[in-house]
Amino acid sequence: MVASAAVAEVHPFRALQYDQSVAGPLGELVSPPYDVITPEQREGYLAASDHNAVRLILPQVAYEEVSQLIADWKAAGAIAQAAEPIMVGWTQTFRLNDGSEHTRNTIVATVGLEPYERRVVRPHERTHAGPKEDRLRLTRAVQTNLSPVFSLYPDEVGEVWEAAGGAQQPLGELTDVDGTVHRVWPVDDPAALRAVTEAMADRWVLIADGHHRYETALAYRQERRANGGPDRPMPYDRVMMGLTSLHDPGLLILPTHRVLGEWRPGLAESAFTTTPAENLGDLLRLLEAAPPDQPALGLVTAENAGVLCCPAAPGTSPAEQLDVRVLERDLLVPGFAADQAKLAHDGLLTYTKDAQDAWYRVRSGGAAAAVIIRSMPKNAVAAVAEAGETMPQKSTYFFPKLLTGIAFHALGDG
C-alpha cells in the first residue's frame, strides 16, 4: 500500500445520494444515527418511506440482504452515484430551550483512515467491542459507509468553509423531529474541491461523534488489505466524515446530566465548597457563574440543592480537570467504590439531556440525587485530545446529530 503522510487527507467522493424525484422528499428518507434511535422511533422511520435509511442501518432483514436492498434501490433509481467526485455542503439551523438560534456548518467528504497513534485523527472517548463487531458485520455485507463520522478540525478564521464556497442554494431541505432545519447541496466545482483538500492538509481532525463507526472502518480496511488488493488507494482506505470547524459559532457542546438512584448524606462535603441554590433557575445561574478554571457541579437532592466547587488540583492533566472526571474521582468512586460505567451497569446511574427532568425526578421522589453538568468549552475538548487523553462516557453531547441518508460512501473496488 502507498504510505500516507501524517496529515489529514480529505477528498471528494462519488457520493451515493437519494434521487428525490424517485424516492420521495428528503425528510421522509433520512434518520438519525442508529445508536440514538428508540424502537418506537424506528417504527416511525420504517413507516415514513420504503426507502428510509433506517432500513439500512437498523434493517428488518439480515445484514447480508441489505446489500441487495441497496442494489434494488439503485436499479429503481431511488439512489444514484455521482458521476464525478463531490463533497456535500450542509447547514443545520436549530434553537435551544432558551430561544437562541444557531447554525452549524459542515462539509461531508472522505478522510484517509489513520490509526490514532499517528495523531492525525484523534478520539475523545473510549469505545466498546460489542457495537464495533455489530457495525463491522453490517459493513462487510453492504461495503458502504452508511452514516458519516462527525469530526472537528481547528480553523479559527473559517478558511475551509470559505474554500468550499460557504452556504449555497440548497438542493435539499428538511426539518427534522427536533425542529432543526437541514439544507444540503453538492460542492462540485473542481477548484473548490482542490481548495478544501489543500486547506485541510495541515490540520488534524477530532472525532466528536461516531468513534465506533471510525474504528469499524479501520477494522474493515485491515480485513480488505489482508485479503490482498491493488497497490493504490482504494475507497475503503477512506471513511465518510462530516467536518465542522472547532471554531464554528454554531458548534455547541451540550451537557449530559447524571441521575442517581442512591445518595449518601455528606458525600460531597469534604472535597467541595457548596453554594446553596433555591431552585433550578438559581442553580443554573450559579453554575454558569462558577469560575471556568475550577471544577463545578450542580447537586440536587430531595432536601437541598447547590453548586459544588473545588480548586483545580495542581499538575493535573486536561482530562483530570474536567467536571465529569472530578465527579467520578472525588464523589462517585470514594462514595460508591465504583465509576460511572459500573454505576450505570448496576442501574444506579442514568443520564438525561434535560436539567429540568433531572430536577423533577429527584424532587418527585423518583431518584435520590442528580448532578447537573456545565456545558463543556470547546477548548477543553481540544486540550484533552491534544494531550492524547480520552474523556469518560457521556462527557459531551453534540447537537444536532448528523443525519443518515444525506450521502453514502461506496467502498467497492470501482
Q: What is the pLDDT of residues 58-84, one digit of tens each?
A: 999 999 999 999 999 999 999 999 999
Cβ(185)–Cβ(168) under 8 Å?
A: yes
pLDDT in tens, 318-353: 888 899 999 998 888 888 888 888 899 899 999 999
Residues near 208 by beta carbon (within 8 Å), at least 6 away in sequence: 124, 150, 151, 152, 244, 381, 396, 398
The confidence score (pLDDT) of residue 383 equals 85
Q: Residue 135: phi, psi to the nearest 5? A: -70, -30
* Dist. CA 408–CA 390, nearest whole Å: 29
Task: Quote the mean pLDDT of the chain.
Answer: 92
pLDDT over 90 at 378, yes or no: no
pLDDT in tens, 173-188: 999 999 999 999 999 9
* Dist. CA 228–CA 246, nearest whole Å: 38
pLDDT over 90 at 386, yes or no: no
The confidence score (pLDDT) of residue 312 equals 81
The string over 136-148, giving b where at least 16 C-beta atoms fall within 10 Å of a residue's C-beta and e elsewhere, is bebbbbbbbbbbb
Give the pLDDT band of residue 157 (cuts 50, 70, 90).
very high
The confidence score (pLDDT) of residue 1 equals 36
The confidence score (pLDDT) of residue 242 equals 98
Q: What is the DSSP letter of 237?
A: G
pLDDT over 60 at 409, yes or no: yes
Per DSSP bridges, beta strands 149-153 and 238-245 are parallel
pLDDT over 70 at 194, yes or no: yes
pLDDT over 50 at 5, yes or no: no
Give the pLDDT band of residue 146 (cuts 50, 70, 90).
very high
Nearest residue to 396 (alpha-carbon basis) of 380, 411, 414 = 380
**Total count of residues recorded for the chain:** 414
* Dist. CA 298–CA 326, nearest whole Å: 12
pLDDT over 90 at 267, yes or no: no
Q: Which of 2-6, 107-111, 364-368, 397-401 is predicted least confidently?
A: 2-6
Comparison of pLDDT for 412 and 168, the residue scoring more: 168
Per DSSP, the three-state class of 66 is helix
Neighbours of 369 (CB within 10 A): 23
Q: What is the DSSP letter of 376?
A: P
Residues near 321 by beta carbon (within 8 Å), at least 6 away in sequence: 295, 312, 313, 380
Neighbours of 190 (CB within 10 A): 10
The position carrying cell 424532587 is: 363
Give the pLDDT band of residue 405 (cuts 50, 70, 90).
very high
The confidence score (pLDDT) of residue 188 equals 96
The confidence score (pLDDT) of residue 262 equals 93
Q: Residue 87: phi, psi to the nearest 5? A: -115, 170
Burial of 20 per CB tally in 10 Å (0-12, 13-18, 19+): middle
The confidence score (pLDDT) of residue 283 equals 97
**Domains of the chain by residue range:** 10-252+399-410, 254-376
pLDDT in tens, 195-243: 999 999 999 999 999 999 999 999 999 999 998 877 788 999 999 999 9
pLDDT over 70 at 395, yes or no: yes
The confidence score (pLDDT) of residue 127 equals 66
* Dist. CA 90–CA 242, nearest whole Å: 9
DSSP bridge pairs for 91: 105, 183
Give the pLDDT band of residue 4 (cuts 50, 70, 90).
very low
DSSP bridge pairs for 95: 101
User: In CATH, which of 3.30.1600, 3.30.70, 2.50.20, 3.30.1760 is domain 254-376?
Assistant: 3.30.1760
